[in-house]
A and B are shown apart, each in its own frame.
Chain A
Amino acid sequence: MTEDNILQIKNLHVRFPIHIGTVRAVDDVSLSIRRGEVMGLVGESGCGKSTLGFSILKLLRPPGEISAGQILYNDRDVVSMGEKELLSFRGRQVSMIFQDPLTSLNPLFRVGDQFVEAIRTHEPEVKPREAWARAEQTLKHLGIAPERLVEYPHQMSGGMRQRIMIGMGLVLNPGLLIADEPTTALDVIVEAQFLDLLNRLRQEFNLTILLISHNLGIVAQMADRVTVMYGGRIVESGSALDLFGNPRHPYTQGLLASIPNIKLDQPELRTMPGAPPDLVDPPPGCVFAPRCPQVMERCRRHRPEEFNVSGMRVACWLYDN
């Protein structure tokens, strides 16, 4: 079966050499995103999901580096791109929006000027005035009065700034939008409005989105398919319906069980015992083994292969039969 993949990550390894050793932030991860879908990437803090997002733009902060693997965007390998190629790739082909809209815009420049700069970076032939007009169009689309382009970021609310970030991400019509925890800094009502907007834009522009979040709720609401990361590895992936309805991997099961439910009469919050693994010196077998309620002997020694369980990919020895 040939799938129309816009992005294919193959056996990606990302390391951060630090003084006490090497952090394996992303450890042999393969993932593909189909054109037009929303892929949710979930996991707890420090599991490598944001690092994975930054790797796609090859924008890791030093000392982080991609040590092996391929990232194919429309069959072009990002990992082997040179600096010049990367410049025309970032923003134009793949754009990214960040967790904190309050700090993602340069405080000293007017919002409109930042739009113009983004546009003219990739299309230098566009005159500043045309670029400004295009920014106005984009703002209208986002439900923001175009006059606000002359304002500075601090004059806008958090939700509005996040919409501006989206606008800046979309003004160049990129093929893929990476949204790294886009609503974490927003309150619940603004979050809901923002997700509505994202849904609407998605349909209008036929967007492909990689939605990185630790919030299972918004991923369930937005994503077509979901990938779960733990300790720098992918533990389970599949369609959102299957994954949330019938999780296979013990980690995913634990993750879903730890969502508080107001309807159930729970005297205590359910939590997973233990702590995330040390990525400098991860367990030799399955990274989740030390916390897993169904751990077996081989889990501690051998890294689990990926098994196909009724359409889902699960990296767990439980499904080896």
Chain B
Amino acid sequence: MKNLIRYVVTRALLTIPMLLILLTIVFVVVRVMPGDPVSSMLGGHAPQSVIDQKKEELGLNRPLIVQYGDYLMQICRLDFGESMILHQKVLDAIGDKIPATIELTFFGMIITLLVGVPLGAYAADKRRSAQDYAIRLYGIVIYCIPVYWLGLMLQMIFGVWMDILPVAGRTGARVFVSTFEKTGFYTLDTLLVRDFEAFADVMLHLVLPSVTLGLVLSGIFIRLTRANMLDVLKSDYILAAEARGIRHRRVVYKHAILNAFVPILTMMGLQVALLMAGAVLTESTFSWPGMGRLLLERIYLRDYPTIQGIIVIFALIVAFVSLIVDIIYALVDPRVRY
């Protein structure tokens, strides 16, 4: 336990240099991009004097290194600054949108695991059968499909043709968000006020976006689970379990799958980054009011502080999740010690 705490603290401290590097890259990249907040705000035909005045106001006329130093100092005080376009604190903008994104990625991950792990395990068990080839083919194809294309197809099939699922937004017209909103996690909020009708509506709206996101990533998990299962199924303890007369299904789906799960956990930690990237696209496709859409909007507006802020938050989430994954490791595998 003491070792675990030491490990967590070390890991947390290690994210600081990572963030510093990331911040520097983002800081430079957004400023190297063509265009700037002033021209996006004022349009291309504003008189030079107005542009200069606005730049002075925002501090963009100072040398880059000074701006950078200022920004770092600000971040050290956990102050993400204020949007250059709107009069809104960056953290407020993010705080508004982050629950939607977390909700989406959470359900996306669940779908990924529910589809990827059992299919991968099944394919490994039935190695070289028609089912195995079919599952592997599915895994490759789904991985190659762009998120937005799959999203559009699902919208067309389930939203337009069959007309059974909503295609956009987090809630329908008959649900008033203000009656339950507390944390911003609508699934949680509706349950807290026991408004089950609203809860059902929120869940329905989650189906298509999270299925889209989850399916695209399920391909990787199928391949990973299958490869690990093949290794595990070859090991002596699997044979020994079968020699003890334990049913094959139990051997595969209890003894083997748990052993194959350890590398899958690692992948889960790493996949969160991909999931976030996928969320950006999914959110645009489904008009999901989350961080991804916010990021896209603010990139168009060249809103430097908000872009930087969002990326820092994304990085923190990824770091946090991989830390959690490392801790779960120790719970699944008794051999892991910190």
Give the B interface residue count (CB, 8 A).
20
Contact present for A59 and B334 (CB under 8 Å): no
Give the A interface residue count (CB, 8 A).
31
- In this assembly, does B25 line the interface, its C-beta being within 8 Å of a C-beta of chain A? no
Query: Which listed segment binds B: A20-28, A84-92, A205-213?
Result: A84-92
Contact present for B333 and A107 (CB under 8 Å): yes
Contact of A152 with B245 at beta-carbon distance under 8 Å, contacts A98-B236, A104-B236 already known: no
Contact present for A91 and B243 (CB under 8 Å): yes
Contact of A106 with B246 at beta-carbon distance under 8 Å, contacts A98-B236, A98-B240, A154-B334 already known: no
- In this assembly, does B244 line the interface, its C-beta being within 8 Å of a C-beta of chain A? yes
Closest residue of chain B to A93 (Cβ to Cβ) is B245
Residues on A with beta carbons closer than 8 Å to the beta carbon of B236:
98-100, 103-104
Contact present for A90 and B243 (CB under 8 Å): yes
Q: With the chains together, A59 CA to B245 CA distance in Å?
A: 10
Contact present for A152 and B244 (CB under 8 Å): no
Contact present for B239 and A59 (CB under 8 Å): yes
Interface flags for B258-272 (1: CB within 8 Å of A; 0: not) read 110000000000000
Contact of A91 with B245 at beta-carbon distance under 8 Å, contacts A98-B239, A107-B333 already known: yes
- In this assembly, does A121 line the interface, its C-beta being within 8 Å of a C-beta of chain B? yes
Contact present for A92 and B245 (CB under 8 Å): yes
The residue that A89 contacts in the complex, of B237, B245, B246, B247, with Cβ under 8 A, is B245
Contact of A87 with B241 at beta-carbon distance under 8 Å, contacts A100-B236, A152-B334, A152-B335 already known: no
- In this assembly, does B179 line the interface, its C-beta being within 8 Å of a C-beta of chain A? no
Contact of A59 with B242 at beta-carbon distance under 8 Å, contacts A108-B258, A152-B334, A154-B335 already known: yes
- In this assembly, does B332 line the interface, its C-beta being within 8 Å of a C-beta of chain A? yes
The residue that A118 contacts in the complex, of B235, B244, B248, with Cβ under 8 A, is B244
- In this assembly, does A122 line the interface, its C-beta being within 8 Å of a C-beta of chain B? yes
Residues on A with beta carbons closer than 8 Å to the beta carbon of B235:
103
| CB-contacts of B207-259 with A (<8 A) | 235-237, 239-248, 255, 258-259
The residue that A121 contacts in the complex, of B246, B332, B333, B334, with Cβ under 8 A, is B246
The residue that B240 contacts in the complex, of A89, A104, A108, with Cβ under 8 A, is A104
Q: With the chains together, A168 CA to B244 CA distance in Å?
A: 9
- In this assembly, does A117 line the interface, its C-beta being within 8 Å of a C-beta of chain B? yes
Q: With the chains together, A99 CA to B239 CA distance in Å?
A: 12
Q: With the chains together, A310 CA to B108 CA distance in Å?
A: 75
Q: With the chains together, A122 CA to B236 CA distance in Å?
A: 21
Contact of A88 with B245 at beta-carbon distance under 8 Å, contacts A98-B236, A107-B237 already known: yes
Contact present for A107 and B334 (CB under 8 Å): yes
- In this assembly, does A135 line the interface, its C-beta being within 8 Å of a C-beta of chain B? no
Q: With the chains together, A211 CA to B248 CA distance in Å?
A: 26
Residues on B with beta carbons closer than 8 Å to the beta carbon of A7:
none
Residues on A with beta carbons closer than 8 Å to the beta carbon of B333:
107-108
Contact present for A87 and B334 (CB under 8 Å): no
Contact present for A95 and B243 (CB under 8 Å): yes
- In this assembly, does A47 line the interface, its C-beta being within 8 Å of a C-beta of chain B? no
Contact present for B240 and A107 (CB under 8 Å): no
- In this assembly, does A57 line the interface, its C-beta being within 8 Å of a C-beta of chain B? yes
Contact present for A105 and B245 (CB under 8 Å): no
Contact of A107 with B335 at beta-carbon distance under 8 Å, contacts A59-B242, A100-B236 already known: yes
Contact present for B245 and A104 (CB under 8 Å): no
Closest residue of chain B to A88 (Cβ to Cβ) is B245
- In this assembly, does A33 line the interface, its C-beta being within 8 Å of a C-beta of chain B? no
Residues on A with beta carbons closer than 8 Å to the beta carbon of B335:
107, 152, 154
- In this assembly, does A96 line the interface, its C-beta being within 8 Å of a C-beta of chain B? yes
Closest residue of chain A to B259 (Cβ to Cβ) is A108
- In this assembly, does A226 line the interface, its C-beta being within 8 Å of a C-beta of chain B? no
Q: With the chains together, A42 CA to B243 CA distance in Å?
A: 22
Q: With the chains together, A90 CA to B241 CA distance in Å?
A: 10
Residues on B with beta carbons closer than 8 Å to the beta carbon of A104:
236-237, 240
B244, B333, B335 — most chain A CB neighbours (10 Å): B244
Q: With the chains together, A108 CA to B332 CA distance in Å?
A: 7
| CB-contacts of B247-303 with A (<8 A) | 247-248, 255, 258-259
Closest residue of chain A to B248 (Cβ to Cβ) is A83
Q: With the chains together, A110 CA to B38 CA distance in Å?
A: 65
Residues on B with beta carbons closer than 8 Å to the beta carbon of A83:
248
- In this assembly, does A165 line the interface, its C-beta being within 8 Å of a C-beta of chain B? yes
- What's the nearest-Cβ distance from chain B to residue A232, in Å? 21
Contact present for A105 and B240 (CB under 8 Å): yes
Contact present for B237 and A117 (CB under 8 Å): no
Contact present for A106 and B245 (CB under 8 Å): no
Closest residue of chain A to B237 (Cβ to Cβ) is A106
- What's the nearest-Cβ distance from chain A to residue B251, in Å? 10
Contact of A95 with B334 at beta-carbon distance under 8 Å, contacts A100-B236, A103-B237, A107-B259 already known: no
Contact of A87 with B245 at beta-carbon distance under 8 Å, contacts A107-B259, A107-B334 already known: yes
Q: With the chains together, A98 CA to B244 CA distance in Å?
A: 12
Residues on A with beta carbons closer than 8 Å to the beta carbon of B247:
87, 121
Residues on B with beta carbons closer than 8 Å to the beta carbon of A103:
235-237
Q: With the chains together, A118 CA to B242 CA distance in Å?
A: 10
Residues on A with beta carbons closer than 8 Å to the beta carbon of B237:
103-107
Residues on A with beta carbons closer than 8 Å to the beta carbon of B240:
96, 98, 104-105, 165
Interface residues of B (CB under 8 A from A): 235-237, 239-248, 255, 258-259, 332-335
Chain A to chain B: the 9 pairs with minimum beta-carbon distance, closest first: A91-B245, A90-B245, A91-B244, A103-B236, A152-B334, A106-B237, A96-B243, A104-B240, A104-B236
Q: List 24 A-B contacts (CB under 8 A).
A: A57-B243, A59-B243, A61-B239, A88-B245, A90-B242, A92-B245, A95-B243, A95-B244, A99-B236, A105-B237, A106-B237, A106-B259, A107-B237, A107-B334, A108-B258, A108-B259, A108-B332, A109-B255, A117-B244, A118-B245, A152-B335, A154-B335, A165-B240, A168-B244
